[in-house]
Amino acid sequence: MRLLIIEDDLDLGETLASALRHAGHQVGWARSAADAQVLLRDEIYDVLLLDLGLPGEDGLDYLRRLRNEGYIEAILILTARDAVEDRVQGLDAGADDYLVKPFSIEELSARLRALQRRRQGRRQEQLVHGPLILDPASMQVTQDNRPVDLSRREFALLQALLTHCGRVMSRAQLEEALYGWGQDIESNTIEVHIHHLRRKLDPKLIRTIRGVGYLIERIPA
């Protein structure tokens, strides 16, 4: 797996990075939220291993910010804070799991495997919006049972909007969804792709929220 350790403690960071590399993972290491933010711009990680006590922006605040910005990959908190309310806060803020220091590398590895299984299951789930179906496993989109031919970036944009159905996605959040597809993002890229999606799909599907971003509305139950 591709892992990003966000940990300011030198000894722990080094020990963890080397143990996880030894276990076959690709490991990045940031020593603050600001450093992590720089790495996240260029790299995709499967799991962030987040320490809460960080210099500068606190781990919990950073976690909330990531989730508010639409970051959807797994986040596992590694911390010395072991009070029940700390765990509850961490999970409520959007962490997928929580491990209290000191922990064994075996337990961490087992938690990582469990996270991977859970998220693979979720990632493979079809996104259904009325007659529109997006299948992440086959990367196919169908509208009224007819295949719709989308570019990889159009697919990624539509997937991000459908995943966050009912929520307005800012241009920055949508750009983030495209980071995995390489190349620099031109300032008007999102608009161009949205324009293409509207031509290929129901033109009313994606709403523009002026000055904020784009939205696919939930279909009322």
- Closest approach, Cβ 210 to Ca ion, in A, equals 42
Is 58 or 135 the residue whose CB approaches Ca ion more closely? 58
Pairwise CA distance, residues 115 & 9, whole Å: 24
Closest residue to Ca ion using C-beta atoms: 53
Q: Report the distance separating Cα 43 and Cα 27, nearest Å.
A: 11
8 vs 46, beta carbon nearer Ca ion:
8
Sort strands 169-170 and 213-216 into parallel, antiparallel or unpaired: antiparallel
Min. distance of Cβ 33 from Ca ion in angstroms? 12
Closest CA to 86 of 68, 67, 99: 99
- 168-187 positions binding Ca ion, by CB under 5 A: none
Report the alpha-carbon distance of residue 166 to residue 148 in Å, rounded: 22
Span interacting with Ca ion, options 1-9, 118-126, 134-142, 165-173, rule CB under 5 A = 1-9
Of 3-11, 63-71, 90-98, 210-218, which segment contacts Ca ion by CB under 5 A?
Answer: 3-11
* Interacting positions 48-67 with Ca ion (CB under 5 A): 51, 53
DSSP state letters, 143-180: ETTEEE---HHHHHHHHHHHHTTTSPEEHHHHHHHHGG
Q: 136, 180 in Cβ contact below 8 A?
A: no
| Smallest distance, Ca ion to C-beta of residue 5, A | 11
Position 8 contacts Ca ion (CB under 5 A): yes
Our CB check for Ca ion shows the closer of 8 and 61 to be: 8
Tell me the window of 45-53, 113-121, 156-164, 169-177 that interacts with Ca ion (CB under 5 A). 45-53
Residues near Ca ion (CB under 5 A): 8, 51, 53
